[in-house]
Amino acid sequence: MNRIRRLLIPIAAGCLFLLFILPLFALTLRSLQTRAWEASSGSGVPEALILSLLTTSTSALLVLLTGTPLAYLLARHHFRFKQLVTVLVELPIVLPPAVAGLGLLIAFGRRGLFGPALENVGISLPFTTAAVIIAQIFVAAPFYVRAAQVGFQQLDMDIEDAARVDGAGGWTLFRLITLPLARRSLAAGLAVSWTRALGEFGATILFAGSLQGRTQTMPLLVYNVLERNINAAIWTGLLLVAMASLALFLARHLGKSEK
């Protein structure tokens, strides 16, 4: 009986781990068997790769610029409805991407809540590269904000206090003390957030549609060419897996050396 109990743990753990790795194994195996990389020419893979890199680097930059202040506010300040704000900021993490896309569409679409106002200033978002970036920010920023908030909270307040005693305050304190100290956790959070943006699919296909070179990022390409050119889909999938793995390794490395 004890032996069975001892075996249950590795068996249960092994089952779950197999579930994680078998799809990756199958993707790799099939791509080797069919030489999937040869199928990638003329199927839109290079265009999708370039578009994915362009949109995710833009969205990551915007997440950094807007997410850092938000995370700092949440980490350092207490205000009314802070719990509510925190929940709203984290909601996109668990929101079904199709809901996110639908929400973006009926908020910023041509017939959306703010569509007419945007149209008045000559902006039409749906089916544009900008829409891809907005969808990515919406789903990916919470990962950064959460990590950055924890990063700020973990800082030793004594250091900031000491700096304050020495006359630093406000922006100077943040720029010279807080930011350098928290930079590793910020970078780790940004890497995770970038990975999420790279894999973004549901909100993009609803809000931005799918068109080669303009809105068809790598995940959309996988879905779109699956029927026509399964090898191109597999190859793109493998590229995505590789890019995401690298980013996650980087995030772990940054997170570890922090301590």
Partner 1 sequence: MKPRHAIVLSIVVLQLVLVPVAAAQESQTLTIFAAASLTDVFQEMADRFVELNPAADIIFNFAGSSTLATQLIEGANADVFASANLKQIQAVVDAGRIIQPVSIFARNRLVVITPIDNPSSLSTLSDLARPGVKLILAAPGVPVRDYTDTMLQTLALDADYGSAYPEAVLLNLASEEDNVRQVVAKVALGEADAGIVYQSDVTPDLNDLIQTITIPDEVNVLAAYPIGIIENTPNPSFAKAFVDYALSEDGQAILMKWNFIGKCPASLNLSLTPPIQSTTQPASTSAPTGEPDPAFAGCPA
Query: Which residues of the shown chain bind partner 1 in the complex (CB under 8 A)?
Result: 1-2, 4-5, 8, 105-106, 109-111, 126-127, 205, 208-212, 215-216, 223-224, 226-228, 230
Nearer to partner 1, 97 or 109 (CB): 109
Whose Cβ is closer to partner 1: residue 18's or residue 61's? 18
CB of 131 to partner 1, least distance (A): 10
Q: How far is the CB of 109 from partner 1 (least distance, A)?
A: 5
List the one residue out of 92, 71, 219 whose CA is nearest residue 149: 71
Which residue, 4 or 84, is less far from partner 1 as judged by CB? Answer: 4
What DSSP assignment string belongs to 91-123?
HHHHS-HHHHHHHHHHHHSTTSSSHHHHHHTT-
Which tokens in the block code for residue 97?
A: 């991407």
Least CB distance to partner 1 at residue 222 (A)? 12
CB of 8 to partner 1, least distance (A): 6
The minimum distance between CB 102 and partner 1, in angstroms, equals 10
120 vs 112: CA distance, rounded Å: 13
Smallest distance, partner 1 to C-beta of residue 78, A: 42
Per-position b or e across 5-15, b if 16+ CB within 10 A of its CB: eeeeeeeeeee
Q: And the tokens for 161?
A: 């206090």
Closest CB to partner 1 among 76 and 214?
214
In the block, residue with structure tokens 């609803």: 206
Q: Which is nearer to partner 1, 144 or 201 (CB)?
A: 201
CA distances from 111 to 32, 82, 119, 179 (A): 47, 32, 10, 41
Residue 199 or 255 with smaller CB distance to partner 1: 199
Q: Cα–Cα distances in Å, from 137 out to 24, 108, 219?
A: 27, 14, 16
Chain-centroid distance of CA 66 in Å reads 15
Q: Which is nearer to partner 1, 125 or 139 (CB)?
A: 125
Alpha carbon distance 50, 200 (integer Å): 15
**Phi, psi torsion values for 211, nearest 5 degrees:** -145, 130
Distance CA 155, CA 185 (A): 10
Q: Output the smallest distance, CB 42 to partner 1, in A.
A: 12
